[in-house]
Chains A and B, each alone.
Chain A
Amino acid sequence: MSEPSPVSQRQVPAHAEYAHGNQSGHDASEALGEQVRAAHAAQRPLRITGSGSKAFLGRTVEADEVLDMRAHHGITHYDPVELMVSVRAGTPLAELEAVLAEQHQHLSCEPPHFGANATVGGTLACGLSGPRRPWSGSLRDLVLGTRIISAEGKALRFGGEVMKNVAGYDLSRLMTGAQGTLGAISEVSLKVMPRPAASQSLRLELSLDETLTRLTAWGRTPLPISAASWQAGTLSLRLEGGMRSVEAGVTMLGGESLHAIEAARYWSDLREHQLPFFTTHASHEALWRLSLPLVLNHGDWQAAVSETLGHIDEADLLCDWAGAQRWLYSDAPAERVRQLAHRLGGHAVCYTPGVVSEQDSPLMPLNTINARYHVQLKQQLDPLGILNSGRLYAGL
């Protein structure tokens, strides 16, 4: 058994305000605001973009003009002691993560990049989180505040840089995942966390049924699990926390210990869809993300699968988030996959472009009541349909 690897030495970061990025960044908010004001005056729709790394995750926006957020970049305020960072939307996510790492901190939800140049603004607009999500909270949970450019081109600020804030409606969280349809995110303040002192990943040979049973039981113990994925009869687990609790966890669970480099590579490849599971699958099958309840009886899963899809090959399934996020390759019609998710109380998103019809959306269709509130909200915040209209759903 290898020693749990110390991810970071605990060090005291400089107590003074950390002003990284002010020199290298660029404030383009005025020009971006002006562009939106002009588009609004001319009733001309805009397509908001960053690097385009997550362009596949929504519908095509019918707009000739692009609002490119990449010109507005740089870290405006990073105070490691306050556990918060404020970042302009166009800042590359990789640059932010590198700056946090210098202070032994990170974004605990480990959001996927899906491209080398992914921006912080695009990451927030899509609202995606990585393998640590069930234990760390989602990206949305880390949002302290946002600055946005409204459909009229006004600069607005919601939330702030403090940990607790319940003044006014929480529009920052509404913007997270709205893919720019309610406002163009120009800056975000995020809660950051210290990197765990120790990390050790393990592999255990188990069936999916046994994996889910054990994870449920382990969830009632103080085991410091921070990631759990299952594929083709192998459970990969990551333990993170204090050195002693990680060591105790390794002793208790047994299995095969992964070398630190191999482990980091695995969790990163899982997050970025770079595992062979994702890179070698037959091209005629679509990749679906199923978001399901954390506690899901394996028998219910099997019954729902057989009623909707008939049979799925074990090689087509990868479970992350202790089973709550399942990646499925399938050539079944979209309605069937959606039925499967719906039946189990979850939802399904298609990650392969061109699978659903143009009028449809890769996102799960909304029920009538939810759709009504989505439409009313869009009408209130962007009645002329200037910002990324149609990105999430047709007519929204």
Chain B
Amino acid sequence: MASFDDIDKAGRAVGDIIACGIIPGGLEMMDNLAIRAAEDFIHAGYPIEATAILLCELDGAEGDVSDDCARVREVLELAGATEIRLARDEQERARFWAGRKNAFPAVGRMSPDYYCMDGTIPRRELPTVLTGIAELSRQSGLAVANVFHAGDGNMHPLILFDANRPGELELAEDVGGKILELCVAAGGSITGEHGVGREKINQMCAQFTSDEITVFHAVKAAFDPTGLLNPGKNIPTLARCAEFGAMHVHHNQLPHPELPRF
């Protein structure tokens, strides 16, 4: 577990570990809000003053792992970690992970409701996207805790809100949608593992062109010609993209301009 006083340094450390040819079994990042939420709930021994922590787990044959541990420690020191702790035994290893694994319910204790996003980005874009998320959080007044599968660029921003306050659910959904659009703009995807159902379906229009969406419908038709299986899920209709595009016009460039609008 490595602590950082700067999220940018933590992000770079992730790249540095991979750059030296080590592929960790697990590599996770948490920001300060997520650290404090998890520590308050689990008492994992997390440094609550840290701006970010990285949890790095190495697996493999014992000799290789001890070589790699030494190497990763060196890399983290060079990357500017303020503190590095190596789990001394299985109990401590489990405690390190318990905080991360309970990050979602921990955030759930801080706020009546939260909305979990699942965007992916190239890791090098992490500082830019986190800055964008912080700005969206400031504008909306909704706090956002960040938990990140750093090794594979999968972000889980948790948007804190209170559904009992009129309009706040819609505001959280709006912030979530904009975070996903940030991910697409950074060269990433709106979902790394959770998938698209009805939720996130509008953001499909941001990630794909209408020609690409037409091909998805063609593939669907090949396997389900009568539209029997979960119609309307996963792939938006072009009419939906036209409607969604009309709501958010960026730099006066209408998305999907070829689609008819009424």
Q: Which of A165, A194, A380 contacts B189 (CB 8 A)?
A: A165
What residue of chain A has the Cβ atom nearest to residue B196's Cβ?
A167
Residue B241 lies at the interface, judged by CB distance under 8 Å to chain A = no
Q: Does B239 count as interface, using CB distance less than 8 angstroms?
A: no
Given the complex, which residues of A lie within 8 Å of B67, measured CB to CB? 242-244
The answer to whether B61 and A248 have CB atoms under 8 Å apart is yes
A150 smallest CB distance to B (angstroms):
7
Q: Can you name the residue of chain A whose Cβ is closest to the Cβ of B188?
A: A162
- A81 near B123 with CB under 8 A, answer yes
Q: A168 near B212 (CB under 8 angstroms)?
A: yes
Which of A7-15, A38-46, A230-238, A309-317 is found at the contact surface with chain B? A7-15
Q: Select B192's contact among A79, A82, A162, A241, beta carbons within 8 Å.
A: A162
User: Quick check: B222 and A380 within 8 Å, CB to CB?
Assistant: yes
Chain A: minimal CB distance from B10 (Å): 15
The chain A residue sitting closest to B180, CB to CB, is A167
| Distance between B41 CB and nearest chain A CB, rounded to angstroms | 27
Instruction: Say yes or no: A162 contacts B212, CB within 8 Å.
Output: no
B99 contacts partner chain A, Cβ-Cβ < 8 Å: no
Which B residues touch A81, using CB under 8 A? 15-16, 18-19, 123-124
Residues of A within 8 Å of B61, CB to CB, are: 222, 224, 241-242, 244-245, 248
| Separation of A195 and B20 alpha carbons in the complex (Å) | 11
Asked if A167 meets B190 with Cβ closer than 8 Å, knowing A13-B19, A380-B221, the reply is yes
Q: Given contacts A10-B21, A164-B120, is CB(A169)–CB(B191) below 8 Å?
A: no
Choose the segment among A151-159, A344-352, A360-368 that binds chain B (4+ C-beta atoms closer than 8 Å). Answer: A151-159
Is B187 close to A, CB under 8 A? yes
**What are the interface flags for A243-267 relative to B under an 8 Å C-beta threshold, 1 for contact and 0 otherwise?**
1110010000000000000000000
Bound complex: CA of A297 vs CA of B12, how far in Å? 49
Closest to A156 in B: B212
The verdict on A79 contacting B12 (CB below 8 Å), with A224-B61, A381-B218, A381-B219 known, is: no
Report A-chain residues with C-beta under 8 Å of the C-beta of B63.
242-245, 248
Residue of A15, A162, A248, A376 near B12 (CB, 8 A) is: A15
Complex interface: chain B residues within 8 A of A83 (CB): 18
B205 CB, min distance to chain A CBs, angstroms: 11
> Restricting to B205-244, which residues have a CB under 8 Å from any CB of A?
207-209, 211-213, 215-216, 218-223, 225, 234-235
Separation in Å of the A36 CB from the closest CB of chain B? 14
Q: Would you call B154 and A164 a contact (CB within 8 A)?
A: yes
User: Are A377 and B222 closer than 8 Å at their CB atoms?
Assistant: yes
B165 at the interface (CB under 8 A from A): no
Q: Does A177 contact B (CB under 8 A)?
A: no
Which chain B residues in 165-183 approach chain A with CB under 8 Å? none
Q: For residue A104, which residues in chain B have a CB less than 8 angstroms away from its CB?
A: 21
- Which chain A residues border B207 with CB–CB below 8 Å? 167-168
Docked complex: A66-103 residues within 8 A CB-CB of B: 79-84
* Contact residue among B149, B215, B225 (Cβ-Cβ distance under 8 Å from A376): B225
Nearest 9 A/B pairs, CB to CB: A242-B64, A244-B63, A245-B61, A164-B192, A194-B21, A163-B152, A380-B218, A165-B189, A376-B222
- 13 cross-chain CB contacts under 8 A: A11-B20, A12-B16, A82-B153, A150-B211, A156-B209, A162-B188, A164-B149, A165-B191, A168-B213, A169-B235, A194-B21, A245-B60, A376-B221
Residues of B within 8 A of A (CB): 12, 15-16, 18-23, 60-61, 63-64, 67-68, 71, 120-124, 149, 152-154, 187-196, 200, 204, 207-209, 211-213, 215-216, 218-223, 225, 234-235
